[in-house]
Structure 1
C-alpha cells in the first residue's frame, strides 16, 4: 500500500506546453483523478480579453504590441487565483504554457513565491512543432489565427517531468501519477508470489524500455510517407510489423516498407527512456535464467537496449528469429527452448494483449505491465504492476521467487 503522511503538504501540479500540446486535456484528467481544482489560464482570462477586443483593444490581445503587457496580467491573475485556491482547497492543477517560467527567470520565482510553501510539480508536454501545428489546424480555436510563428522553445531548465505529447491522455496520466508516487497497489495474494520459476522472459517495448511514444512517432512518420492512417498502430501494440504492413500495402511494396519503418525506429531509439526498475531487475538475474522476447527486429532491439543501458542477454528472440510472431506462442516457446527450461516454469512480463496471449499459449505465467494499454485490457495475467521497481527476484534452491520490493513513498510523505 502507498504510505501517506498524516498531514500532506498541498499538492500543486503545473501542466505546461505550447498551444496544441494537449495540456488542457491532461490537466483536466489529473484534476479529476486527484480530485483537485483545475485552474486553466485560458479559462480564467480569455473570455475577458476577447470582450476587450474591438472596444478597449483595437487589435487582438495576442497580437503586437499588447503581448508582453497582456501576458504579465494573465499570469498575475493565475498566480493570485492559484494562491487562494491552494490555501483553501489544499492543492490545484494549473494549466498554462508557462513559457517564461520554464526558463527559470523571474517569472519562475514569482510562481514559486505565489504558491509557497507548496512546491509545484512542473509537467512539460514535449513534441515536434509539426505535431502541434497539425493539432492546432484541426481544432476550432479562433485565437490560433492570431498567434505569431516563433522558433521552437528551448528545453526547460527548471525541475520538471517531460511527457511525450504523442502519448494518449491515459498513458500520459499514468506516467505523471507514477512519478508522483501514486502507485497501483500490488495484489499480494497473487499466485505469482507463491511459485518458483526457472526463468523470467521479458518483453522489451513497454516493459524494459518506455518506447511507446517512440513507436507512435515512428509509425506516424511512416504513415505520412506511405499515405495511410497512423491510427492502425493503436490496436497492434506488441505485434510484429510485417503482418500489419502486409495488410496496409501491396505485396510488392512490403519488403521496402519494412526496411523503411525499421530505419525510422532505429533512428528514433536514442529518445527511448528506461522503464522504472527494469535495468536493475533484469541485470540482477543469472544469464541462464533470463531472456528478452520482442516483436521488433534485432536492429531495433539493439538500438533500444543501448538507449536504456541494458546489455542483451544470451537469449534474445526477435522478429527475425521466428516464423509466427505474437500472439502466436512461438517466440516464447523458442526462448524457453534456448534456455533449456520448461515453458510452464517461465514467468513472462508483458504490456500488451498480443504478448499476454502468446505467453499464455506457451504455458507461461504472466505479469502484466501498465502504461501501454488501458488496465482493463491486461486480462488473463497473474499480477499487474506499474513498474518493475515494485518487484524483487531471489534465487532460491527451488528456483526464482518473486516478492514485493519495498513500497515506494508518495510525493509529499
Structure 2
C-alpha cells in the first residue's frame, strides 16, 4: 500500500469496479471464454489476457471475426457466466468495507451485464448498492469514461469529487478520462503494479472516516 495523496484526501463518493476489485471471478470467466475461443478458432493463450475489464460485446467486436454476430455471442457469454459462478469469491474485506460506507455515497461501475453482476455479487456476498452502472447503461464501455461519469451523476456529484477503485487497465483509463482520483486494488494481481496512482493491497488494512461535511477518506489502520 503506497503513501499516496489519496490517503490524505476526502471525497464525495467512491466508485468501484466489480471484477478483480471487490470480487474475483477470473477462474469462472476464463473457463467460459476459453470454451468460446476454442469454438471460434481464437488462440486462447494470447486472447485470455484481453478479456478482463471490458464488456463482452466490445471484446468480441475487437476481434473482427468474419460471420460472427457480436450481440448474439455476447449474450451466450453472459448466460454461460451466469451459470458458472464456481470460484467466484469476495476480495478479502471488500464486503465489510462497502457496508461501512454511507449507502448514498458509493456505486459499482462494471462492464458486466446487470444480471451477471448481481449473480456474481450474490455468490461473493457483496452488497448491492443503490447505484450500479452495468454494460446495458452505456453505449461505449471502458476505457470510455461514460460509466464512471454516469455513476457520479446518479450520485449527484462530479467525477472530480470521486475516488475510483479499479484493477484493470481499461478501467484505469476510463477513470482517468473521467477526471476522478484512483485507488488501484492489487489483491488479485500476480505481479507488482507500477502506477502513479494510490494502491491498496487489502481492504482489511484500511477504514473509512466520514467528516462532519459528509466527505469520506481512506485511512490506514
Query: What does residue 209 of structure 2 align with?
Result: 394
Gaps of 5+ in 1: 1-185, 406-413
1:233 aligns with 2:15: no
Query: What does residue 315 of structure 1 align with?
Result: 131
Query: What does residue 361 of structure 1 align with?
Result: 177
Query: RMSD over aligned Cα, in angstroms?
Result: 1.6
Tell me the CA shift for residue 284 of structure 1: 1.3
d(CA) in 2 for partners of 1:373 and 1:251?
36
Q: Secondary structure at the match of 2:36?
A: helix
Tell me the CA shift for residue 373 of structure 1: 6.3
Query: Which of 365, 375, 386 lines up with 2:192 in the alignment?
Result: 375
d(CA) in 1 for partners of 2:201 and 2:216?
21
Given that 1:238 and 1:326 are in contact with CA atoms closer than 8 Å, whether structure 2 keeps it comes out as: yes
1:215 aligns with 2:29: yes
Given that 1:356 and 1:380 are in contact with CA atoms closer than 8 Å, whether structure 2 keeps it comes out as: no
| Over 3 Å off, 4+ runs | none
Question: Normalising by the residue count of structure 2, what TM-score does the alignment of the two structures yield?
Answer: 0.92
Query: What does residue 242 of structure 1 align with?
Result: 57
d(CA) in 2 for partners of 1:373 and 1:261?
25
- Following superposition of structure 1 onto structure 2, how do residues 114-153 of structure 1 map, counting pairs within 5 Å? none
Name which structure has the greater RCO, CA cutoff 8 Å, separation 6+: 2
- Following superposition of structure 1 onto structure 2, how do residues 30-109 of structure 1 map, counting pairs within 5 Å? none
d(CA) in 1 for partners of 2:150 and 2:84?
28
Given that 1:209 and 1:274 are in contact with CA atoms closer than 8 Å, whether structure 2 keeps it comes out as: yes
Q: Which segment drifts farther, 355-364 or 218-227?
A: 218-227
d(CA) in 2 for partners of 1:254 and 1:363?
31
Pick the structure with greater CA Rg: 1
Residues 373 and 334 from structure 1, CA distance in 2 versus in 1: closer, same or farther, beyond 3 angstroms? farther
d(CA) in 2 for partners of 1:235 and 1:379?
19
Gaps of 5+ in 2: none
